[in-house]
Amino acid sequence: MKILIILPNWLGDAVMATAAIELMSQYYQDASFTFVGSYVSIQALKCHPKCEKAVVDETKKSSSRLLATYKLAKELGKFDIAITFRNQIHSSLLLKFTGTKFCIAKRAWHSMFLLSITPNISSTTQHLAQQYAKLAMTNIPQWNNKTSNLKLHIKAFEFEKPTICINGGAAYGSAKRWYPDRFAKVAKEFSNDYNIVILGAPNELDIANEIEENLISLGVGNYLNIAGKTNVEELCANIAGCSLLLTNDSGPMHIAAAFQTPTVAIIGPTEYKQTYPWMNDKGLIVRREMDCSPCVKRECPLKHHNCMKEIEPDEVIDVVKSLL
């Protein structure tokens, strides 16, 4: 059975979709998957054992995205089932243009008009992993309504010594970022027993370098700053192999959940009930309940950023100790 899967664009969302993909893999045991997605989502999921083909969707770069979407669909061909985890008109069009009969997408004006199966799935009361699972298992009465763990099929990196990885970035925006000096103070507390590795995407070098500068000022020497020096697959391997991940609410937090890596996540403006570390028994969050939260804004609209500012290093240190 050939199944087309349109992945979410954000890395974290793509990882949260892996629970649904594992359910599909278990139910359709003879399936082969074709993944279409952003560069980061494809890099994270292309190692799935049932992945026959992985395609980076670059239609957005075209002068005519509609035409580019049509051409991509014809290159992909027809499938037994096609599903999109994006709620976006061009993903609905992509499924439609493949000529696949059974196409699944979350209900929206475009999907209802174009596709055959469009369940109405609440986005306010369920974790995103659950939403994706319900979408994937639509019209399967045998499903017991249980959602799998997140799972990435990437081998863990083997560190020579116990290691804490720090992710100070968050691609969505500054409102989701705790402060570099505070990350460094937490790392300092554990640096006698753990090496420190600073993670980050190429566009997060300033944040990673500021964490490094603070570590140096605190007298920490056993650190490695690899921000911007790893691809997505290597990032996943590092997170899989470390002793603990200290992070903001971001893609790495969900990667850690996929590997059951002990995690302390500092969460500010996020709708955390929809995006906390899914089914990670050692995934703990630190947050402040504010009158203005969750605002889900890229930058603090009130300019005070108290949802992050009020979280002190000592509090985070205590949570890390509870896991280590």
**pTM (2 decimals)?**
0.94
The tens-digit pLDDT sequence of the chain (324 residues) is 999 999 999 999 999 999 999 999 999 999 999 999 999 999 999 999 999 999 999 999 999 999 999 999 999 999 999 999 999 999 999 999 999 999 999 999 999 999 999 999 987 779 999 999 999 999 898 899 899 899 999 999 999 999 999 999 876 667 778 999 999 999 999 999 999 999 999 999 999 999 999 999 999 999 999 999 999 999 999 999 999 999 999 999 999 999 999 999 999 777 778 889 999 999 999 998 767 777 667 787 667 777 888 999 999 999 999 999
Q: Which CATH number does 163-323 carry?
A: 3.40.50.2000
Q: Which residues of 56-92 are buried (b: 16+ CB within 10 A; e: fewer)?
A: ebebeeeeeeeebbbebbeebeebebbbbbbbbbbbb
**Residue ranges of the chain assigned to CATH 3.40.50.2000:** 2-136, 163-323
**For the domain 2-136, what is the CATH superfamily, name and number?**
Glycogen Phosphorylase B; (3.40.50.2000)
Q: What are phi and psi of 306, to 5 degrees?
A: -65, -25
**How far are the Cα atoms of 144, 254, 286, 299, 306 from residue 289, in angstroms, in the given order?**
34, 22, 10, 17, 10
Q: Are 306 and 175 in contact (CB under 8 A)?
A: no
- Tokens 């300033």, residue located: 206
